[in-house]
Structure 1
Amino acid sequence: MGWDAALVGRDEEVARLEEALGRGRSGDPCAVLVAGDAGVGKTRLLAEAAARAAGAGMTVLTGHCVDLGDVGLPYLPFVEVLRRLEADERHADVLAAHPAVERLLRAGGGREHAGEIPDSGVRLRLLEDVAGLLGDLAEQAPVLLVIEDLHWADQSTRDLLRFLLSRLLPQRPGAAGYQRLTVLASYRSDDLHRRHPLRPLLAELVRLPSVGRLDLRPMDDDDVARLVRGLAADPLPEDTVRAIVERAEGNAFYAQELRAATDDIDGGVPSGLAEVLLTRIEQMSSVAQRVLRTAAVAGRRVEHGLLRDAVELPDDELETALREAVGRHLLVAGEGDTYAFRHALTREAAYADLLPGERVRLHAVFARLLGEPDRRAGSSAERAHHHRAGHDLPGALSASVEAADSAARMGAPAEEMRRLEAALEVWDAVPNARELVDSDDVTLMMRASAAAVRAGEAHRAVAFARSALDRVGEHADVDLAVTVRYTLASSLMNVDNLHAAFEYSSQALAMIPADPPSRTWLWAAATHIQAAYYLNDDETARRLGHQLLAAAEELGTDDALADAIISLTGLEWGSRQAFEGRERLSQARDLAHKSGNTTIELRALFNLAMGSFESGRLAESLGWLDEGLELARRTTRSTSPYPLDMQYLRAQLLYTLGRWDEALEVVPETVPSAFRHVAEAALYVPLGRGEPGVAERARALFEERPFNWMGTLIGSLVLTDEAAWRGDSTAAAEWARRALDVLSEDRNPYPDAGIRISALALSAIGDTATELRAAGDTEAAAREVARAEQFIERARTTMSWPNRRFPRTGPESVAWLSRAEAEWSRVRGEVDVALWEKTAEAYGYGNVFEQARSELRLAQALVAADRREEATALAQRVRETAERLRAVPLRDAVDAMVRRGRLAGSAAAPADEVTLTAREREVLELLARGLSNRQIGEELFISAKTASVHVSNIMAKVGASRRTEAVALARRGGLIPD
């Protein structure tokens, strides 16, 4: 792994090495043997440890073992260390005091005595002089000795390392200087076959009291994803990130190579990585290579019996070859008499190395073997793959449909979709396809579309339905043609393509008579009602809804009746926020359950949960969500649209209630691509806790394509609020403006979220305006007031927009509008205690964090009104909430307010009593000019990190929570000129 990559996901390992470095610096010598597979990140971890050691004043010495085969030079890593010491004149006296090491320098340079084998006395003096040299260096400064790639070490290097580590005896901290030594040595655990010469040494070393072992495991998927994103100059599509994470399997080097090859159109193993992997394979015997390549055709895992029949070797030869592959850590023995490739990319490299003819022949062999009657059940998907790769397309078609049927029985919609897609890909190439699978292509496409919906793959569902529409002209069945159109319309609504959905649902209704009503007409009408509703064509939705209601009752079709009730609730019966509306929804839930239509039952439960949430009945909403998600789990529909929306809403609810850790836990680790916003449903938690990387994740959501309305909403809220926390009102206002432009649509030109976005922008502008007034810059403050006008106007207009369905009287909208009005008063420089009291009370419906934030504003207003005792009590309550939530920015803001207001418990002096160092005054003057930490560092010839420390100290001394606020307070206190 390259040293230029950011260190990701190794906090525990770094802490372990930091502990070893600390022991060494204190005179308690120790060693850590770092083990891990090739590419897992050993070099990067040791580089981090070396950098930290150098930063702490340690002398860092690094040597590398190199694979030179049988002609390797003895003591090579120590020769490398000595060469570097020799090149530094500061160490000349220490080297001269140990003349025996000159033998290593001469041998390392290839001059005389290079091949000399010293006698035991000379050898002992050599070992002792190297140890003595390190001891003398440690007297000058603590020493870190790093030896990399011990698996390639020669016998002499191993002996010298044994000698050194055996002399590391545990000491008390503060012992003699020559004992200030830490040794870190790495080796590849996957290279240690049973007879590897390093194995006995490792077993001996780990028994020494001062030697520990650190096994570097593969990285977690989330950490690999962070690494991959960090390697990209431009944001990568999330699908690409996920694909790299899946293939890398926790290996940092593999992830980097795959990231570098993302433009490779064939999607295979990158050439550089393939060479590394094939080198390991080519070290085996020819028979073992044959077995490994045959296993690669089978896939990641293969049964022993299947491999035996395919490779056609005597049992003893096969077992010898398998033992060799397992011993070299290329294969691992698994349960059920199986073998698996230790890493998927090894399998890919071995497979890619086969000649085309070999692949076709072996795939045909595996297809034939898997088709035998005595093979295990569930192999139809494998057979389909081997038939296709073996150029047997009829066999691939029939096996693919069989595999889709099996997946449907097991409740695996994603697998069913993929198998149907595979069948459709070869359909036109199989002359007797209909007779072979007893179906037609349009039916398979519609089935694939339905499976895609259940799998949450909304865009794939649209693609399959469009393909069916292209083919349906060949069929005379009107019902099928209608079904294709309303199915396509339904899928288009899931991806927010509302105008196209309305067009296709209109076509569907026009193709079939309403009288006499049929089941096909019922569902075409139900789909068109939703499409009309989303486009604000309430008249059409209401008229058709009552027509559907009567027809469903006439036919006794309970699920269509339930669907009509749900659609009409928001148009006729007081909406889902009202008690009457939720009663209707409960009736619809019961009808759907009675009919066995799980999709409509889930729709009813989601609307019940949303109605309860919108009306401020949060506990009731959680109850409906629990019921819905349990139903989805039982019916294997957890990845279909309504359950995914329920998971999103549940995370939002828990966040609102202040149960932040639970909110993080309920967010699913993986979601379909069209529902990525569900995976970020709890992004407000790390935002509230001030964790790094939040803005990057939010920006990826905001800019995601295809357009995702909910993802854009979450991203914009987080980006606006994150900029506000940073005190960057310009960025906050810009993000809010962009969000309001993007989220405004024909169906809802004033989305409710506009109130919240506007309030957050007003909060950031209010902070800046307040600081400008404190600095005496009334002209700039007036510009902030002008900039804020657009946001208060949008919030007010959104609240009062004449919505014909239901008024915006939910507690969340009321609270955010009150917040917007209160922030607007701050922008104008007013102190309105009553307005902030009203706002804090409005969030009392259960929004813990926003209530605490409003109470902080209230405390600030109370300080300005000289009601200090009330402000002190309120600040303490807000701080307790911040501590419980681990909301660091809120806690820091409270502390800054307490210090600035000199409330009870404040430790900060007023600005006019602050004493700054000469360097802090220099930094403050540059800070007042608007320079960043990096720019300050460049001006003063210090690092950006040091500049950041000075800025933090200044902020703490003047009692500020933001950089601009620190400047304003410093000006007011006379620390810098006005």
Structure 2
Amino acid sequence: MSQRSFGSPLIGRDDELGRLASVLERARHGSGQAVLVAGDAGVGKTRLLDEVAARASAGGATVVVGHCVDLGDVGLPYLPFTEILGVLAADGRYAQVLAAHPVVDRLLGAAPDSSRGADARLRLFEGVAGLFADLATAAPLLLILEDLHWADQSSRDLLRFLLSRGVLPRRLAVLASYRADDLHRRHPLRPLLAELVRLPGVERLEVRRLADAEVVRLVRALEERPLAEATVRDIVERAEGNAFYTEELVAAADADGMPTGLADLLLIRVEQLSETAQQVLRTAAVAGRRVGHDLLRDAAGLPEEELESALREAVGRQLLVAGDSETYAFRHALAREAVYGDLLPGQRSRLHGRYARLLAARGGGARTAAERAYHYRESHDLPEALTASVEAADHARRMGAPAEELRHLETALDLWPAVPCEARPDGEGLDPVALTLRASAAAVHSGDAHRAVSLTRAALAGTGQDADPELAARVRYTLAGNLMTVDNLAAAFAYSSEALAMIPAEPPSRTWVWAAATHVMAARQIGDDATALRVARQALEVAERIGATAARADLLISLARLEGGGRRTREGRERLREARELARSAGDTPVEMRALFSLAIGCFESGELRECLPWLTEGLDRARRSGLLSSPHALEMRYLRLLVLYTLGQWDECVRVARADPAPGFAEGPVLYIALARGEPAVVARARALLGEPFDWMGTFVGGIALTDAAALRGDPEEAVARARDAVAALTDESGRAPHVTVRLAALALAAVADGAATERHGDAGADRRRAAAAELLELARTAAAGQGPEGQAWLARAEAEWSRAGSGPDPAAWEKAVAAFGYGDVYEAARVRLRYAEALASVGRNAEAEGQARAVRETAVALGAVPLRERADALLRRSAQASVPPLTAREQEVLRLLALGRSNRQIGEELYITGKTASVHVSNILAKLGAASRTEAVAIAYRERLITPEPTARG
């Protein structure tokens, strides 16, 4: 199905064919596979995929091909999948399978869905996935997606959904090609590729340029008559390993003088056609890379016989290829681009207008709205372009394609001022402010919070003094909600206050209730809980009275955190369950997801880690099915799911889940924590990348933790303290309220300070600064931990124990308390404080107990793969094993004292009048007796075990 016939031979692709053949073979035997096929334009991706498709089809596989098309900034939702389903629907063999998945009729325009976008998107994604799975059950299925660099965002989202389900359906292979040379730094395909290549069962294949010898073979195969060696050498040099360029250069070999530019080269073959065939090619180029026979005939204005003759000529010259369902496509996109670029502006405009009118006359309705909008705009018929753009946005919303809806709405807003009032579409919601608000909502749903803020500000600027108060209020509370997603809390509170003041509470209205619900969240965010509680209670009563179910659910979520013991309590979570059911009954997926996130984080905050996971599973499943995986609460749930797995010590599972469901930015934070604990490289660079612009609260949160801990682990107390201070300052809100993570950051920085205190000398100015920093950090920890649950109290216990260690030395009782506090379920942190406890026990001579604790730490470290922690436990065990070794000799005591002063072996020998070699032997004996792995560790142990005492610093 959907195969093409190429006259050119396939040369130099044995390796690529071998890899793709093995992928097909694995899929045939039940292991679903996907390959992202990358290469420059013209390098031979399509030819390679065509060969693979032919072999797969000959082997009994079902082969379906979908193409992404470059139509400027037009968004045609799910275009390659629509093409695939159209081909399947036209083949009676698949009627029964298609009938089992009626939701896919939406892509074919046969079954409009009146449900909300999130639910519609859920059914669509699941329906397409189920269809492909059933097809693959009947026979091996090869799904080919070409030119992914032109894919609309909805198609990218659907591809992500298909490949991110953990395991591809059995006997399904997916090959998706894209132009590597088209992917500029901000290309929207880039982040998707970065996610996909990390998934199990997904690999990348780069189609390389041909070697010179392979180009020579291709030239000889393309041209039966012998070419002069000079001509062949010229072709090889100019083709630069590009198969398509090679073919065009061979075809142009008879031309008088070789063309200098690629466009001229591509047009040579076009100019060798008859005038009628050239006219057909120019008309087809305006339609895009692919066009139906009937539409091309009407656009070209030719009789059937003349059209067929011209098409036969173009196909014979391998400029066009015939496809299924009486369609024709340019054999290569570069050829289409060259023909289109050669048109005069007037020709382009007239042909675009002709296509737009033909599409409108055919009654395609909303399904052709995006194409009509494109053609009308290119033909400069702005009134029709505006109307079609709004219609295309409506269609994209019904299709669950928020990114395309946003694109069409922004196009409509650009066109609006250029269209006379009498020519603009009319109807409810068809004015610039309403369209801008709708565009901001689409931006939120597609995960672009900063764009949503910009659009809502534009809506505010367009709201005049005489605007309807309800509309003016709606603009302001929408802006407030969007500002909260980008952590601009003071401005959010100001706008929500304005919104609430613009309309009276009586008579009751839904606008007032939603303004109040937004104001409650904004007030809570800036720490004004009294205002939040008062407004929430008032608004909840009004919402119940007027039946505003979704707003009532939203208010219950806020109240669950504001009243009583908050969401950590059973009562709070019962209220959240009620909110979830209300939101679900109202069909408001974002509010339902907020309730599910609140239920999950409430369990986490109360130390009930395993109870947290079912809520996260439900919430993320809802987000995935609704196409809202990039929404704020979904990202926080993805982070929290990984955090729970990390905390429970299920590190390999945490990494596996992150690879199967890759998330941007902060959401992968727990994987960063694991990499740091395992001693993996580049962790600091990855953490710093989270601190860039624009400011991201959660990114700063995760980056601050990782960078502070990294500094502590490498023994840099000044850096650890600086990182902790920076993170706390950046995360503190406008009211001066420090974040809950402050207690963790303070404890990590205190650990570094305590490590430094073990080797500091009395009176050292640096030591004095560190002790002052320790006091500051302890106060921060105590303040931040007030009112927190088990996690916050555990970190406070560690901070208190580190404070004691920094001041008077290890305190076994303080560390025993910290070990007990982390017993709520944090496996790694419990092991870290247990090691500190073991060191404290050893410092007071309780060596047997210390050894038992250290062995437990080692067992946990091995299970986690936490190599640095295991090495520290091993060092403590070595020291314990050396406890029966005779004490240091007098000479070794002298050598140890000089080691503590930073002397080298040579300097030690000079001061003690011994050779450097003898000094080296003494140093080795000291390390062995102390169970230390390095000179620095030996000195630290000596100070801790009171084998030496700090020397006073001379004062001038």
Query: The TM-score by the shorter chain falls in which range?
Result: 0.5 to 0.7
Q: Which digits, 9 at most, give the CA deviation of each residue in 1:127-147, with x for residues without a partner? A: xxxxxxxxxxxxxxxxxxxxx
Name the residue aligned to 1:637: 628
Aligned residue among 312, 318, 329 for 1:316: 312
Q: 1:812, CA displacement in angstroms?
A: 0.4
Rounded Cα–Cα distance in structure 2 between residues aligned with 1:889 and 1:321 = 66
Determine if the alignment matches structure 1 residue 577 to structure 2 residue 563: no
1:886 alignment partner in structure 2: 865
- Using the alignment, how far apart are the partners of 2:176 and 2:843 within structure 1? 51
> 1:885-931: CA deviations, max 9, x gaps?
2223223333333345546999xx999999x9xxx9xx9959999xx
Aligned to 2:770: 784
Partner of 2:919: none
Distance 1:354 1:795, change over 3 A: farther
Q: Distance in 2 between matches of 1:827 and 1:725?
A: 16
1:690 aligned to 2:690?
no
Deviation at 1:409, TM superposition (A): 1.1
Flag the 1:620–1:413 CA change in 2: closer, same or farther, 3 A.
Answer: same
3-state SS of paired residue (1:682): helix
Cα distance per residue 1:180-231 (max 9 Å; x no partner): xxxxxxxxxxxxxxxxxxxxxxxxxxxxxxxxxxxxx99999x999x99xxx
1:865 to 836, 840, 844: 844
* Distance verdict in 2 for CA 1:783–1:428, change over 3 Å: closer
Q: One-letter code of the match for 2:268?
A: S
Deviation at 1:719?
Answer: 0.8
Q: RMSD in angstroms over aligned alpha carbons?
A: 5.2
Q: Tell me which residue corresponds to 2:727.
A: 739
Query: Once the 2 structures are TM-superposed, how far is the Cα of residue 615 of structure 1 from its aligned partner?
Result: 0.4
Hey, what's the Cα distance between the residues in 1 that align with 2:329 and 2:890? 71
Match of 1:546 in 2: 537
Separation in 2, partners of 1:285, 1:826? 79
Closer, same or farther: CA 880–285 of 1 in aligned 2, 3 Å: farther
Aligned equivalent of 2:829: 850
Deviations 1:350-391 (A, max 9, x none): 977877667656655654565562879844334333433343
Question: 5 Å matches for 1:94-173?
Answer: none
1:505 is matched with 496
- Residue 767 of structure 1: aligned partner: 755
Q: In structure 2, do the counterparts of structure 1 residues 727 and 670 end up closer, same or farther at CA, with 3 Å as the change threshold? A: same
- Change in CA separation of 1:875 and 1:339 when aligned onto 2, cut-off 3 Å: farther
Deviates further, 607-616 or 595-604: 595-604
Partners of 2:374 and 2:675 lie apart in 1 by 43
1:424 deviates by 1.0
- 1:593 correspondence with 2:584: yes
Equivalent residue in structure 2 for 1:658, among 649, 659, 673: 649
Is 2:39–2:181's contact at 8 Å kept on the other side of the alignment?
no
**Distance in structure 2 (CA, Å) of the matches to 1:888 and 1:242:** 31
Within the candidate set 367, 386, 391, 1:397 is matched to: 386
State the distance in 2 between where 1:958 and 1:740 align: 39
Cα distance change, pair 338–461 in 1 and its aligned pair in 2 (3 A): farther
- In 2, distance between residues paired with 1:478 and 1:341? 57
Does 1:381 find its partner at 2:370?
yes
Aligned pair in 2 of structure 1 residues 783, 632: CA closer, same or farther (>3 Å)?
Answer: closer
Normalising by the residue count of structure 1, what TM-score does the alignment of the two structures yield?
Answer: 0.61
In the alignment, structure 1 residue 436 sits paired with structure 2 residue 425: yes
- 8 Å contact kept, 2:389–2:411: yes
The AA in structure 2 aligned to 1:286 is I
How many percent of aligned residue pairs carry the same amino acid? Answer: 47
| Pair 1:834–1:359, CA change in 2 (3 A) | farther
User: Aligned AA for 1:425?
Assistant: D
Q: 1:279 to 1:799 in 2, by over 3 A?
A: same
| 1:570–1:747 Cα change, 3 Å | farther
Question: 1:680 Cα shift?
Answer: 4.2
The one-letter code of the counterpart of 1:795 is A
Residue 268 of structure 2 is matched in structure 1 by: 286
Give the Cα–Cα distance (whole angstroms) in 2 for the partners of residues 318 and 373 of structure 1.
Answer: 27
Aligned match for 1:813, one of 782, 788, 792? 792
SS at match of 1:576: helix
* CA separation of 1:714 and 1:357: change in aligned 2, threshold 3 A: farther
Match of 1:725 in 2: 713
Q: Does 1:840 align with 2:819?
A: yes
User: Hey, what's the Cα distance between the residues in 2 that align with 1:745 and 1:572?
Assistant: 21
1:92-140: CA deviation from partner (whole Å, max 9, x where unpaired): xxxxxxxxxxxxxxxxxxxxxxxxxxxxxxxxxxxxxxxxxxxxxxxxx
SS in 1 for 2:290: strand
Match of 2:401 among 395, 412, 425: 412
| Of 701, 705, 708, the match for 1:713 | 701
Q: Distance in 1 between matches of 2:339 and 2:192?
A: 20
- Deviation string for 1:922-972 (max 9, x for gaps)? x9959999xxxxxxxxxxxxxxxxxxxxxxxx9999966788547767999
Name the counterpart of 2:445.
454
**Cα displacement (A) at 1:757:** 0.5
Describe the shift of the 1:793–1:294 C-alpha distance in structure 2 as closer, same or farther (beyond 3 A).
farther
Q: Distance in 2 between matches of 1:955 and 1:252?
A: 56
- Is the contact made by 1:445 and 1:467 (CA closer than 8 Å) also made in structure 2? yes
Per the TM alignment, residue 882 of structure 1 is displaced from its structure 2 partner at its CA by: 2.2
Shift of 1:619: 1.4
Please name the residue that 2:485 is paired with: 494
Residue 825 in structure 1 maps to residue 840 in structure 2: no
Distance change >3 Å, CA 244–CA 37, structure 1 → 2: closer
Range 785-794 or range 488-497, more displaced = 785-794
Equivalence for 1:947: none
Q: Gaps (5+ residues) in structure 1?
A: 1-11, 17-34, 42-216, 229-235, 255-271, 327-331, 801-806, 930-953
Match of 2:828, as an amino acid?
F
Deviations 1:509-530 (A, max 9, x none): 2221211211221111111222
1:523 alignment partner in structure 2? 514
Partner residue of 1:560?
551
SS of the residue 1:551 aligns to: helix
Q: Residues 244 and 873 (structure 1 numbering): CA distance in 2 closer, same or farther, change over 3 Å?
A: closer
Question: 1:711 and 1:356, CA in 2 relative to 1: closer, same or farther beyond 3 A?
Answer: farther
Superposed displacement of residue 393, structure 1: 2.2
Which residue pairs with 2:34 in the alignment? none
Aligned to 1:624: 615
Q: CA deviation at 1:727?
A: 2.0
Query: 1:799 touches 1:817 (CA, 8 Å); kept in 2?
Result: yes
Aligned equivalent of 1:261: none
Q: Which amino acid aligns with 1:427?
A: W
**d(CA) in 2 for partners of 1:351, 1:966:** 75
Instruction: Quickly say closer, same or farther: Cα 1:375–1:481, change in 2 above 3 A.
Output: closer
Distance 1:910 1:676, change over 3 A: farther
| Aligned partner of residue 314 in structure 1, secondary structure | helix
Q: What is the identity, as a one-letter code, of the residue corresponding to 1:725?
A: L
Counterparts of 2:372 and 2:849, CA distance in 1: 75
Amino acid at match of 1:768: G
Are residues 434 and 512 of structure 1, via their aligned partners in 2, closer, same or farther at CA, if it must alter by over 3 Å? farther
In structure 1, distance between residues paired with 2:181 and 2:855: 41
Please tell me whether residue 794 in structure 1 is matched to residue 773 in structure 2: no
- What letter corresponds to residue 734 of structure 1 in structure 2? A
Verify the 8 A CA contact 1:478 1:511 in the aligned structure 2.
Answer: yes
Q: Find the aligned partners of 1:973 and 1:821 in 2 and give their Cα distance.
A: 26
Q: CA 1:910 to 1:562, structure 2 compared with 1: closer, same or farther past 3 Å?
A: farther
